[in-house]
């Protein structure tokens, strides 16, 4: 309206005023236009970022100011204004003459060592609370100021770490072991720990005073051939800027078993005889044991890891019984397969009596050859003896070369007396008479050649 009046006044007085005055009036008109005709109030707005004093336990760790980056665009999406501003805690900074449209304003990283940062943002013209973030996206409205309020809460934090100690197993490379945790701040998770004593942190932090309960997963603690009692759960309280250490010890006991040997005997009486056995096992153990033949099992005096195989052999020499033969049983192989159990092994000795020798038939002895009369024509051969012929009583005495005295024969009564008595007057026995008969027969045989010569 003022511009219209200035133009009319210039026209009405243009003929009366000099040229210099015209230039002065134009300059005044432009100045008045720029001063009195600003942009329409509905075309621009403003926003203010305010950092509220936060409540936390970080104390001196909490920063005194925070830095924000912002950038804006108009309703057509074209960039308009952008920049960086620093806001002190408890105050705010306003950016004016922002074309209507949309802006983003976000706080730069404000983390500090030893404390956790939790941020919350509220925008005045929105019904949304921006949690866990310092900043927001918001609209710039013409003629109005948009307030962005940020709360930065710092809490001192800490963490915990877990280590595993192994006992009863020489090889410390067993594992890994799995642990789970649940904390009072709502966090939970798991971590994996080796069996060599190395500590492993939880991988996150917790506010000061948080309590975490840590437990070992029993399935990860199992080692083949061993028994273990899983340690009880432990609870740790988080301290400022520290890592609380937890140690879990797994004491392993080797699973072992054994075997026994029983001996039975058939075919012979073993009495108190002891039978000796030796064993050789795959775990390197060797030994011996003795058992009687009464079938009572004798346990080997050693324990063996599960899966161990033992070969048991009987001493063949010690198993012999006089008068019997024995086919010694073959070796037995036994596997120790159950914890604290004894695996039975049985041996049976079957004895067979040695048969008595059968006497053989006596051999026939060669018969003695009967004597034969010597052949008178064959020199050197003895005549075969023959029974003496009855002696005839010669009518005249026969002279022999040995004696010239006549041989007189005794009367029968005298001969009977001589045969019944001995020169000492004792009666003769039958053996004596037999002896005389033999002498007489020998004499007759000796005299036979003489008689033959005389006859010739």
Which is higher by pLDDT, 180 or 406?
A: 180
| pLDDT score for 423 | 39
Whole-angstrom Cα distance, residue 186 to residue 184?
5
pLDDT, tens only, 66-89: 999 999 999 999 999 999 999 999
pLDDT, tens only, 96-106: 999 999 999 99
% of the chain residues with pLDDT over 70 = 69
Which is higher by pLDDT, 171 or 400?
A: 171
Average pLDDT over residues 327-353: 94
| pLDDT score for 241 | 77
Which is higher by pLDDT, 56 or 226?
A: 226
pLDDT of residue 446 exceeding 80, the answer is no
pLDDT, tens only, 255-276: 999 999 999 999 998 888 999 9
| pLDDT score for 373 | 55
% of the chain residues with pLDDT over 90 = 54
Whole-angstrom Cα distance, residue 81 to residue 95?
10
């Amino acid at each position: 309206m003022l511009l219209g009046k200035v133009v009319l006044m210039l026209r009405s007085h243009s003929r009366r005023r000099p040229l210099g005055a015209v230039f002065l009036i134009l300059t005044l008109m432009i100045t008045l236009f720029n001063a009195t005709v600003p942009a329409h109030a509905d075309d621009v707005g403003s926003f203010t970022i305010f950092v509220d004093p936060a409540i936390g336990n970080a104390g001196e760790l909490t920063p005194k100011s925070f830095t924000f980056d912002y950038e804006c665009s108009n309703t057509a999406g074209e960039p308009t204004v952008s920049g960086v501003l620093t806001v002190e805690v408890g105050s705010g900074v306003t950016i004016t003459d922002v074309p209507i449209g949309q802006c983003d304003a976000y706080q730069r990283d404000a983390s500090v060592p030893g404390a956790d940062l939790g941020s919350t943002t509220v925008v005045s013209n929105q019904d949304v609370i921006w949690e866990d973030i310092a900043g927001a996206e918001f609209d710039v409205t013409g003629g109005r100021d948009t307030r962005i309020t940020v709360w930065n809460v710092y809490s001192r934090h800490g963490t915990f770490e877990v280590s595993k100690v192994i006992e009863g197993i020489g090889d410390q490379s067993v594992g890994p072991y799995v642990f789970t945790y649940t904390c009072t701040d709502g966090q939970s998770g798991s971590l994996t720990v080796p069996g060599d004593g190395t500590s492993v942190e939880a991988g996150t932090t917790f506010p000061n005073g948080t309590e975490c309960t840590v437990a070992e997963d029993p399935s990860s603690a199992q080692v083949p051939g061993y028994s273990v009692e899983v340690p009880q759960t432990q609870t740790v309280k988080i301290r400022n800027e520290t890592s609380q250490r937890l140690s879990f010890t797994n004491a392993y006991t080797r699973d072992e078993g054994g075997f026994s040997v029983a001996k039975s005997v058939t075919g012979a009486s073993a009495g108190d005889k002891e039978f000796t056995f030796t064993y050789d096992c795959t775990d390197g153990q060797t030994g011996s044991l003795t058992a009687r033949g009464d079938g009572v099992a004798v346990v080997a005096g050693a324990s063996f890891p599960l899966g161990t195989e033992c070969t048991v052999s009987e001493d063949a020499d010690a198993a012999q019984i006089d008068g019997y033969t024995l086919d010694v049983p073959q070796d037995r192989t036994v596997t120790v397969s159950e914890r604290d159990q004894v695996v039975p092994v049985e041996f049976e000795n079957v004895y067979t009596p040695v048969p008595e020798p059968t006497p053989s038939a006596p051999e026939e002895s060669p018969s003695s050859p009967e004597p034969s009369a010597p052949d008178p024509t064959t020199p050197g051969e003895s005549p075969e003896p023959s029974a003496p012929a009855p002696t005839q009583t010669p009518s005249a005495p026969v002279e022999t070369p040995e004696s010239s005295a006549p041989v007189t024969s005794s009367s029968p009564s005298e001969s009977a007396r001589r045969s019944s008595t001995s020169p000492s007057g004792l009666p003769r026995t039958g053996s004596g008479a037999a002896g005389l008969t033999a002498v007489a027969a020998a004499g007759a045989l000796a005299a036979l050649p003489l008689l033959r010569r005389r006859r010739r």
